[in-house]
Amino acid sequence: MRRKILVTGGAGYIGSHTCVELLAADYDVVVIDNFSNSKPAVLDRIAAIAGRAISWHEGDLRDRALLQRLFSQHHFAGVLHCAGVKSIPEAQQFPLKYYQHNLEASLTLLDVMSQHGVHKLVFSSSATVYGEAARLPYREESPLAPNTVYGRSKMMVEELLHDLVQADDSWHIGILRYFNPVGAHPSGLIGEDPNGQVNNLMPHLCRVAIGRQDALSVFGHDYPTPDGTGVRDYLHVVDVAEGHVKALQHISAENGLITLNLGMGRGYSVLEMVRAFEQVCGNHIPVRFVARRQGDLASYYADASRAADILGWRAKRGLLEMCADAWRWQSNNPDGYL
Ligand code: WQD
């Protein structure tokens, strides 16, 4: 009998790659997704990669009745909570939306989990909870001082999870702080396909390379970094997905709460990413240098040693593999999921 896991946001970029790795680890998967930043077509692609189907339900985590039905219908061994909204600039404009989708939705999910005796949770958090104050590389015990609404919405859920574990030791919780997931499953069947406004660097690089965008706007060329452009800790999305499975396996054996960085432990600049992508796609990527983007920090990257020590997890796919897999996805799906 396979253990069954609920993946919230399972049709999304991180969620879909995590579903593939869960299925490969012989779990059964049920997805709930409101398709606000994803499409149902992803679910067929996941099944094609895994060679077996997954159950899925369209809906919003704030719909308590829907969650009650889901938890009555399925006996979940645990939940991977990947659903959320994640655009830093949009969060600055619409804070209420971000607190509703990231905080309120998590509260409803946790309440229904508790009512049904499901106490194992892996939560998708973000390196943006650290903010400018933390020394580099970011360590899990670094002080949290997010400088964006998005980062604060994630930090509030983390604090809520700490309070929950303090009050009830039957909870087993893993908080995963992602740095910058990029790339795609090597099959080229699933990848990053944001609906509407594109914010992240890698989708923009892919769109320039495929001709959907004429040039890459580089946000700032005067940062205190080796080449003046922003530095981030990029890691392959399949490494992130594997980290989720290892975290789930770890918390299934240990109650309490553990917080882990998921990163490579080193940074690359925007221009280094451009050069790596050009090497992989064989096309020139025109760039234009523009003003810094509000909320951006110059440079941050992870100390990921705790995940290695506790989970035996390391990000093992290098920069060229990240770019090659992202490019294969984009080449195979020039207009994303249809
Ligand atoms: C990376 C670098 C930009 C686009 C991410 C995600 C966010 C959240 C937090 C998960 C920066 C530069 C980008 C472009 C550019 N993820 N850039 N031109 O800002 O680190 O935030 O982590 O929780 O969803 O956005 O990632 O990919 O947006 O930017 O120059 O067109 O690329 O300035 O230095 P970021 P990003």
Domains of the chain (ranges plus CATH)? 4-186+234-265+303-316 (3.40.50.720)
Q: Is 99 a catalytic residue?
A: no
pLDDT at 170: 97
Burial of 107 (0-12, 13-18, 19+ CB in 10 A): middle
CA dihedral 195, 6, 167, 147 (to 10 degrees): -20
Instruction: Give CA separation, 18 vs 15, 104, 238, 290, in Å.
Output: 5, 23, 8, 35
**Smallest CA separation from ligand 1 atom 4, residue:** 201
Position in ligand 1 atom list of the atom nearest CA 295: 19
Among 258, 255, 238, residue whose Cα is nearest residue 316: 238
Position in ligand 1 atom list of the atom nearest CA 269: 34
Chain-centre distance of CA 169, in angstroms?
27
Spatial contact of 63 and 70, defined as CB atoms under 8 Å apart: no
CA separation for the pair 330, 198 (Å, rounded): 14
Position in ligand 1 atom list of the atom nearest CA 154: 23
Pocket, ligand 1, Cβ cutoff 6 A: 86, 88, 126, 128, 178, 180, 199-201, 204, 216-219, 230, 232, 270, 293, 296
CA 232–ligand 1 middle distance (angstroms): 8
CA separation for the pair 278, 205 (Å, rounded): 9
174: three-class secondary structure by DSSP? strand
Position in ligand 1 atom list of the atom nearest CA 273: 32
Global pTM value: 0.97
Angle (nearest 5°) at CA 19 between 68 and 304: 110
For a mutational test of ligand 1's pocket, the pick from 126, 180, 216, 223, i.e. the residue with the most ligand atoms closer than 8 A to its C-beta, is 180
**Smallest CA separation from ligand 1 atom 28, residue:** 200
CA separation for the pair 326, 320 (Å, rounded): 10
Beta bridge partners of 175: 123, 259
Q: Is the dihedral of CA 300, 306, 308, 311 positive or negative?
A: negative
CA separation for the pair 323, 304 (Å, rounded): 21
Q: For each of the chain's 338 residues, which pLDDT tens digit applies?
A: 899 999 999 999 999 999 999 999 999 999 999 999 999 999 999 999 999 999 999 999 999 999 999 999 999 999 999 999 999 889 999 999 999 999 999 999 999 999 999 999 999 999 999 998 889 999 999 989 999 999 999 999 999 999 999 999 999 999 999 999 999 999 999 999 988 788 999 999 999 999 999 999 999 999 999 999 999 999 999 999 999 999 999 999 989 999 999 999 999 999 999 999 999 999 999 999 999 998 899 999 999 999 999 999 999 999 999 999 999 999 999 999 98
Instruction: Give CA separation, 158 vs 32, 95, 165, in Å.
Output: 21, 18, 11
Q: Which candidate in 98, 150, 178, 300 is catalytic?
A: 150
Q: Which two tokens stand for residue 129?
A: 């909870």
Q: 3-state SS string over 74-113?
A: CCCCEEEECCCCCCHHHHHHCHHHHHHHHHHHHHHHHHHH
CA 85–ligand 1 middle distance (angstroms): 14
CA 199–ligand 1 middle distance (angstroms): 7
